[in-house]
Structure 1
Amino acid sequence: MAERPRSKTAQKQKKKKKISGRKWFYGLFFTAAIAIVCGIIGYLLIILNGERILAENGSKLNLGEASIIYDADKKEIARLSAVLDNREVAEYSELPEQLLNAIVATEDQRFYEHSGIDFFAIGRAVVKDVIARSAVEGGSTITQQLAKNVFLTADKTFFRKATEASIAVALEHQMSKQQILTMYLNRIYFGNGVYGVKAAAKYYFDTELEKLELWQVAILAGMPKAPNRYNPINHPEDSLNRRAVVLQLMFDQKYIEEADMEKAKAVVYERPANYEENRPESYPAFIDYVIEEAIEVTKLSEEELRIGGYHIYTSLNQQAQQAMDTEFNDDDNFEKSKDEQQVQGAMIIIDHRDGTIKALSGGRDYVKKGLNRVELPRQPGSAIKPVISYGPALETGDYYPWTILKNDKKCYNNYCPTDRWGPTPVSMTQAIKDSRNLAAVWMLNEIGLKRSFEFAKKLGFDLEQEDRNLTAALGGLSKGATPMQMATAFSVFANGGKSVDPHTILKIEGQNNYSYTYKAPASKQLMSAETAWYLTEMMQTVVEKGGSGARAAIGRQLAGKTGTTQHGIPGYSGDGIRDAWFVGYTPEWTAAVWMGYDKTGKDHILKKGSSQSAAFFAKVMRPAMKGVQESSFKKPQGVKENNPPAAITNFNAIFIPEEMKVQLSWDPIQDGQVTYKVFRKEASESEFIEFVDSLTSTEVDDMSAFPGMTYEYYVVAYDAKNNLESPPSQTIKVVIPETEIIPDVPMEPDPIDPDGGEITPPIDEDGGEGTPEPGDGTDLPDDTGGPDAGNGTGEPGETPDTGDGAGNDILDGLFDGSGTDGNTQGTGG
């Protein structure tokens, strides 16, 4: 059978296959060439990147000398270094050969052969990661580990690993293997706060490096992979197993003989006789603050500061700091939480005489470089009232501690503040003692927001535009205030109105004759000395019996202010407090205490409020100030004395139904020349108005009282010569009964008896004239008086009683009161 001719399509396919083979050859060739070129370029980029990083951060390679921080008595409290303080630097000549062999055998078997990157180890790690489907194996060399330790974080990402590799290659170009290995052993962490192999030898074995035995070397060489897990004190069994692995690796790589390996495996570790557990760094929040301040004044980086061998002298008072730490470590000082989020707190103590910070705490369980709540803004609540309302008012010269403030429930452009007090006006002193909200808002409204905010700005509160409303009087600020700001502002009050510059650093000395000494900025008079004195005078009542901060008393002269803020949780109507404050000062020191949750929620709100903050203040300040010489608040010359007239006594308000008037009377003021003012408001009105002014008598009638209305009255005495006003009298409420309107009826002439005389009225059964019996159509509602309140207009000839408490007089039904006379309501003053 003849062979069929091939189709043109088949011929083309055959011809195409021959051409594709050649193309594949050239394709692979050029691909390989391009890959090699790209590899070379990539390697050069890696080297250049590493060189750049080293050039920019070369100072980090220098271990340097640890800087030292001292307290106010020049006692050492902390040593600083590049990482932590417990480190000793070893020279290469001090490192035992077996230690070097153990580290290389365990961490980087090809250390002496590679140039910073071990591609064989990387390939092995990739294979293991692929098999495990996760990053379980590291291919890092000792040089890469050093690069990571010095320059990078510990996250395991491609970009971080690429940067690590570039730095490692650059290190290998600039340093010898001996230098790299020495720096690595001086840098790595060995658990329990120990850094560097020299310190580890002393800590775990109480011996010098050159005296280390093989079994000890193996323990140390096994620890860098997991310092806490593999150290022999915390986990002896894990350490024993890890030691065996290290010894086996050393034997496999022919660094030791089998007999040496078995002998070293058999040794039982015992803790040194003089072992002392490394304690956490003392005063971490204070030290963190010192470092921040030192960086600012020296213009050094933190790394340069830590390893520069500086001597930093601070204002720390260890007695005060320890007293503070003790109370922060006592859980009973804080409300219990429902879960792991605990109630937090912050406190700072400042000597306002020179601005030195004596102690501070950034929170419970504060850790190094943690959240320092002393510098965290929170809503200050009523603690801001001296800054926003009362301080600016006093500074005008128009108001004094004895000035009477209105305490009416009133709305201001749809803002309607409330408090638990009645509407009776109060003195500024009483308002701040009780922490009355209505009086504070009224005061701010009177002086104006512009004047208030200018005053606050002088004290360090740079308020936002959205804060420019009356809610600021009660601490409703958009950003809030920090404990540092509050303590600084109150320090100005305590310092006679002069500026205070809080600081911790007194002096810094360093190498090459470096020296820094704190110099206080020029003092500024931020408010008059009189204003500062009046605020101090008023706030001393806050910590007296009956004051809102009475639990803060410490047996010294003390002034202060409480503050609380409501939870403000959307959709939650229950009670609860977000922030609780007490800020107070003695003639020597000022302190601010804040308590609350970091994140407020319906399960994370306070119940006790500022009383607990006030109590915490006292617990800290009593022992903190032990030995601090007591002084007194200094009264400036020329301060106007508070000698207002005495309060009105025996004030009575009685409705006289026959004359349709309210009769007001009171006892006269015996001392001084005074006149009297009577204030009145109808029940539906929000504010009292001045009803009568300049009275010289001690009684007056209100003839304008309308039936069916309820009125409230109070009286003050006024000294016109000194422009002083007495505290208001008690407030009395008077209910005017409804009156039946009788139409006019033409009068008939009196009957004439036959003998020409007038006919006398008939005599009633009880012997009286024929007048209507009580109760004949003039009874009052049952709910307006006492048991016999509905007895009409009274028996003929009976004098209305002004109050025997029995509730059976004719006027008992006309008054709604809770006073002792049964007829009046006293709200107090």
Structure 2
Amino acid sequence: MPNDPLSRSNNRNTNNKSNQKAKPKTSKKKKITGKRVGWTLFFTMAIAIFCALGGYLFILISGERLLTANMDKTTINETSKVYDRNGNIMGELSIKKLEPVESDDIPKLVKEAFVATEDKRFYEHQGVDIWSIGRAAVKDIMARSMVEGGSTLTQQLAKNMFLSRDKTFFRKATEVSIAMALERKFSKDEILTMYLNRIFFGHQRYGIKAASEFYFGKSDLKDLDLWEIATLAAMPKGPSAYNPLSNPNDSKARRGVVLQLMYEQGYITEAEMDKAKAVDYKYTPPEKDRKYQAFIDYVLREAERVTGMTEDDLNIGGFKIYTTMDAQAQTAMENAFSDDSLFESSKDDQQVQGSMVIMNHENGSLVALLGGRDYQTKGYSRVTQSRRQPGSAFKPIVSYAPALETGQYSANSQLSNQKQCFGNYCPGNLHGYSSTISMTDAITKSENIPAVWLLDKIGVNTGVNFAKSVGIQLTDQDKNLAIALGGLSKGTNTLEMAQAYSAFANLGEYQQAYSIKEIQDSSGKTTYKHDKSETKRVMSEQNAYQLTQMLQNVVNDGTGRSARLDRPVAGKTGTVQSGIAGNSSNRDVWFVGYTPEWTGAVWMGYDNPDAKHMLKNSSKLSAAFFAKVMGDALKGVPVKEFKTPEGGQTSPPPVEEPQQPELSVSGLSASYNPSTQTVSLNWTGTGDANTQYRIYRKETSEAQFTHLIDSVGSTSAQDLSALPGLTYEYYVTAYDLASGQETSPSNTVSLMIEAQEIDPQQPDPGTEPGTGTEPEGPGTDNPDNGGTDNGNPNGNNGNGSDNGNNGNGNNGNGNENNGNNNGGNGSGNGQPGGGTPPGQGTTDPGSEGPSDGAITTPGEVVTPDSGTNGDNGGTEAPSTPQTDSGG
């Protein structure tokens, strides 16, 4: 029976015996014999040899065919084209190439430079260098992609002739086949000559002659110097990164590598190498590039980054690149940069430079940008390649915005405005002090103490983290209170500042700027499209709107009045002092602001600032430039208001208003001192020590009075910006800091200032950097002469109402006593902390004021200290203290 246990047992025994008998047969079948191994190896080798021969024959035939087909071609597609945001063509990436150069016209040293740099075994291999391919293969395997070229100079020529830029095995095999065909058909010298006539050198220049003529103005290669030869030989590795126009510093560094290789391989002497390494590139091509070139170049850099292609790939690929540029805005910017009257004049050929970025804060798209007055020919873009200290323009980023986000402060919050030190760090105000000041007034007047005090309260790390969240690049060295006034270790640029402020304009949402919407290949297929998923919230809508309202006050009634337009504008100025003892001029001036439509950032200054190359004007210059460009860029665009938070604006919590004494002002009188060129004002007031007296002024040609300066706890003040030959009218009001109550105007006084003949032996206080103050007083919005550079070389322009320093105001080393401020506010731009090298951007937090004036309070020496203010330590000034003079 099938289920019988005995039967199942017998079956198991039978199966076990069968298995035991089958084992020897199985082992015999799996036994590997020498005969079997021999036949396997024979057939394997035969197949390998057959494949190798077939592959070799394919390479030979393919190489010859491809070489013949592509010998005289430069491109296989139409030129790539770039379009603006409306789909209108901006320009074509046309190839610029001169006639080929014969071998005899190429100096031997030129050939040696390229061989030494690109392929030192060029004369030894037959088109393919096995060692280089092996090294490249190892790197490719480790990276799991085709990252290493391993190409010989012949293969580079083959790649340019085949014209495909895809990093694939097929392309590499094609390179090899063409390279071998080249080696069979031409001599080494002929190959090298063809290579030099076809290689890409950046700026759409192909061939050594075109490059030599464009970069050095030399069509005869025999006229090239060694450093110029090495500069050209440095470019094939990275034409965009190493060409001397776009990246002079990187080009010089790469040139040094080329010269080192030439020296090591015996082509030049050590002395020749050292001499050629030291030369700086200064040539400027006489021709000007086309319209929109700055934006097109930025687009190309972004396209390289987002696609992984090279500029060479983009030139010949027949691509259609759709960008975010607004033609009207870019044209307005280019026109402004070419208008010399909008820039301060220089004493020599080193002109004042500038940079500007405009972006759409609603979606992060770049609208217009330009990185210099001579960008069309120079190619060096200060939009991204130059980093400078931002001065007071950094206050909203690192102090006020993060303070609002803590929930402990609002626009009405009273901040400390008392004269004080934070450890050994002692910033100062321009227009005196008070016990408290509202956040709105602190931003409007650009007072220093409240910004530093606030950062100390919320913690330095809080400010640093917020700045990083809106795209500012900071280092560990920036973790100190000096950043409240823009004292950054590496500075920033207009692109970063525009991105940061765009978050305020966009109700607290930050987006990284971009310039490319879409890229299509020659067949119309989309190869890249911008991903709009990078938006992140950095502030609440309510807090962002509060900050916008405060920044509107800066433009309407504060230091940014020169940026006013016929539409709402919010923004902040920034002025960075020279940092040179005895020099009251400015190193950098900024304005960063926004309308309901767009956000813009402007910087002005010298590329290489020193004692002779400083700005006499303050940030009014950059604010006026912002107004000019934005006004033209938005011409015809309907005026609208700033967006309000959903559900409407929630007003900040009210502040309790203590009972205040009745305020009144009377008996105003004015007198002018020709020797110090100051107007002294005196009046009678009924306020107490917390009362702020506001002085208003109107020049007779002006339509209305404007807020000039403030005086706290004193019934006297001085106007340092009055100009000879003009008539001024003044009145004063009293303002209660706690309640916000302001009295009616006092009596009005009129004063005619006689024109004075200036002693030619003395510096002109209006044009030469002295050691006095440079306030940007209200009512003097003309960026060319508005209240700047009126410093008295004797340093006696101080505000007598301030408890000053009976010491030497010119070097900032006075002792602080309760006496008259004989040194004066800004009587000397002392170099705190041991001095600042002329080449380093400085922002001394001890001298920021509401009027963008360049001023350092005498006797307030900023000394680095380990300090305990702020959070997690690191709250003191950096080892090289920064000097912020306004805005």
- Pick the TM interval, shorter chain: 0.5 to 0.7
CA apart distance, 1:302: 2.3
Work out whether 1:72 is the aligned partner of 2:85: yes
Counterpart in the other structure of 1:398: 408
Deviations 1:323-344 (A, max 9, x none): 1111111122222222222111
Q: Distance in 1 between matches of 2:380 and 2:72?
A: 26
Structure 1 pair 159–547 and aligned structure 2 pair: CA distance change class (3 A): closer
Amino acid in structure 2 at the alignment position of 1:498: E
Deviations 1:454-513 (A, max 9, x none): 222221224222222211110011111211111011100000001222111011100463
Answer with 1 or 2: which has the greater Rg.
Answer: 1
Counterpart in the other structure of 1:590: 599
**Which of 494, 498, 502 is the aligned partner of 2:513?**
502
- 1:288 counterpart SS class: helix
CA apart distance, 1:188: 9.5
Q: Distance in 1 between matches of 2:608 and 2:509?
A: 36
Asked if structure 1 preserves the Cα contact closer than 8 Å seen for 2:354 and 2:605, the reply is: yes
Counterpart in the other structure of 1:533: 545
Amino acid in structure 1 at the alignment position of 2:517: L
Asked if structure 1 preserves the Cα contact closer than 8 Å seen for 2:390 and 2:590, the reply is: yes
Structure 1 pair 185–303 and aligned structure 2 pair: CA distance change class (3 A): closer
Q: Give identity over the alignment, percent.
A: 41
Structure 1 pair 314–188 and aligned structure 2 pair: CA distance change class (3 A): same
| Match runs of 1:7-86 below 5 Å | 63-65=75-77, 66-80=79-93, 85-86=95-96
- 1:373 counterpart SS class: coil
Structure 1 pair 224–137 and aligned structure 2 pair: CA distance change class (3 A): closer
Work out whether 1:609 is the aligned partner of 2:618: yes
CA apart distance, 1:439: 1.7
| Match runs of 1:708-727 below 5 Å | 726=740
Work out whether 1:340 is the aligned partner of 2:343: no
| Match runs of 1:373-412 below 5 Å | 373-375=382-384, 376-412=386-422
Asked if structure 2 preserves the Cα contact closer than 8 Å seen for 1:426 and 1:727, the reply is: no
Asked if structure 1 preserves the Cα contact closer than 8 Å seen for 2:325 and 2:515, the reply is: yes
| Match runs of 1:285-324 below 5 Å | 285-324=294-333
CA apart distance, 1:652: 8.5
Work out whether 1:351 is the aligned partner of 2:398: no
The more displaced of 333-342 and 170-179 is 170-179
The more displaced of 366-375 and 577-586 is 366-375
Q: Distance in 2 between matches of 1:602 and 1:422?
A: 29
Counterpart in the other structure of 2:47: none
Amino acid in structure 1 at the alignment position of 2:90: I
The more displaced of 405-414 and 583-592 is 405-414
Counterpart in the other structure of 1:433: 444
Q: Distance in 2 between matches of 1:538 and 1:444?
A: 18
Asked if structure 2 preserves the Cα contact closer than 8 Å seen for 1:404 and 1:727, the reply is: no
Amino acid in structure 2 at the alignment position of 1:138: P
Structure 1 pair 366–727 and aligned structure 2 pair: CA distance change class (3 A): same
CA apart distance, 1:428: 1.1
| Match runs of 1:487-498 below 5 Å | 487-498=498-509
CA apart distance, 1:452: 1.8
Counterpart in the other structure of 2:12: none
Asked if structure 2 preserves the Cα contact closer than 8 Å seen for 1:464 and 1:478, the reply is: yes
- 2:583 counterpart SS class: coil
Q: Distance in 2 between matches of 1:464 and 1:334?
A: 32
Structure 1 pair 557–474 and aligned structure 2 pair: CA distance change class (3 A): same
Asked if structure 2 preserves the Cα contact closer than 8 Å seen for 1:501 and 1:520, the reply is: no
Counterpart in the other structure of 2:458: 447
Q: Distance in 2 between matches of 1:431 and 1:381?
A: 15
**Which of 584, 590, 593 is the aligned partner of 1:575?**
584
**Long gaps (5+) in structure 2:** 1-62, 125-151, 158-178, 211-217, 225-285, 666-684, 692-711, 714-733, 745-819, 821-849, 851-887
**Which of 334, 337, 341 is the aligned partner of 1:328?**
337
Deviations 1:775-822 (A, max 9, x none): xxxxxxxxxxxxxxxxxxxxxxxxxxxxxxxxxxxxxxxxx9xxxxxx
- 1:478 counterpart SS class: coil
Counterpart in the other structure of 2:493: 482
Asked if structure 2 preserves the Cα contact closer than 8 Å seen for 1:647 and 1:727, the reply is: no
- 1:565 counterpart SS class: strand
Counterpart in the other structure of 2:474: 463
- 2:464 counterpart SS class: helix
Structure 1 pair 446–78 and aligned structure 2 pair: CA distance change class (3 A): same
Counterpart in the other structure of 2:795: none
* TM-score, L = length of structure 1: 0.52
Asked if structure 2 preserves the Cα contact closer than 8 Å seen for 1:383 and 1:475, the reply is: yes
Q: Distance in 1 between matches of 2:118 and 2:583?
A: 49
Counterpart in the other structure of 1:174: 181
Q: Distance in 1 between matches of 2:181 and 2:616?
A: 63
- 1:406 counterpart SS class: strand
Work out whether 1:639 is the aligned partner of 2:643: no
**Which of 95, 103, 107 is the aligned partner of 2:102?**
107
CA apart distance, 1:521: 1.6
Counterpart in the other structure of 1:281: 290
Structure 1 pair 373–727 and aligned structure 2 pair: CA distance change class (3 A): farther
Deviations 1:106-127 (A, max 9, x none): 935xxxxxxxxxxxx6xxxxxx
Counterpart in the other structure of 2:236: none
Amino acid in structure 2 at the alignment position of 1:77: M
CA apart distance, 1:363: 0.9
Asked if structure 2 preserves the Cα contact closer than 8 Å seen for 1:288 and 1:368, the reply is: no
**Which of 537, 543, 558 is the aligned partner of 1:547?**
558
Deviations 1:528-569 (A, max 9, x none): 11110111000101111x410101111110000000111224
Structure 1 pair 619–155 and aligned structure 2 pair: CA distance change class (3 A): farther
Asked if structure 1 preserves the Cα contact closer than 8 Å seen for 2:107 and 2:222, the reply is: no
Q: Distance in 1 between matches of 2:428 and 2:71?
A: 61
- Aligned pairs, how many? 492
Q: Distance in 1 between matches of 2:206 and 2:309?
A: 24
Amino acid in structure 1 at the alignment position of 2:91: A
Counterpart in the other structure of 2:107: 138
Amino acid in structure 1 at the alignment position of 2:102: E
Q: Distance in 2 between matches of 1:666 and 1:279?
A: 65
Say what the alpha-carbon RMSD is for the aligned residues.
Answer: 4.6
Work out whether 1:563 is the aligned partner of 2:574: yes
Structure 1 pair 195–652 and aligned structure 2 pair: CA distance change class (3 A): closer
* TM-score, L = length of structure 2: 0.49
- 2:537 counterpart SS class: coil
**Which of 432, 439, 443 is the aligned partner of 1:422?**
432
Q: Distance in 1 between matches of 2:499 and 2:664?
A: 49
Structure 1 pair 183–565 and aligned structure 2 pair: CA distance change class (3 A): same
| Match runs of 1:192-341 below 5 Å | 280-341=289-350
| Match runs of 1:159-170 below 5 Å | none
Asked if structure 2 preserves the Cα contact closer than 8 Å seen for 1:507 and 1:518, the reply is: yes
Structure 1 pair 398–348 and aligned structure 2 pair: CA distance change class (3 A): same
- 1:622 counterpart SS class: helix
Structure 1 pair 400–506 and aligned structure 2 pair: CA distance change class (3 A): same
Amino acid in structure 2 at the alignment position of 1:388: V
- 2:402 counterpart SS class: helix
CA apart distance, 1:396: 1.8
Deviations 1:618-649 (A, max 9, x none): 11111111122322112223512576659946
Counterpart in the other structure of 1:700: none
Counterpart in the other structure of 2:854: none
| Match runs of 1:117-132 below 5 Å | none
**Long gaps (5+) in structure 1:** 1-50, 89-98, 109-120, 122-135, 149-153, 200-221, 229-276, 654-664, 668-676, 681-687, 690-713, 719-724, 731-815, 817-827
- 1:454 counterpart SS class: helix
Asked if structure 1 preserves the Cα contact closer than 8 Å seen for 2:512 and 2:534, the reply is: no
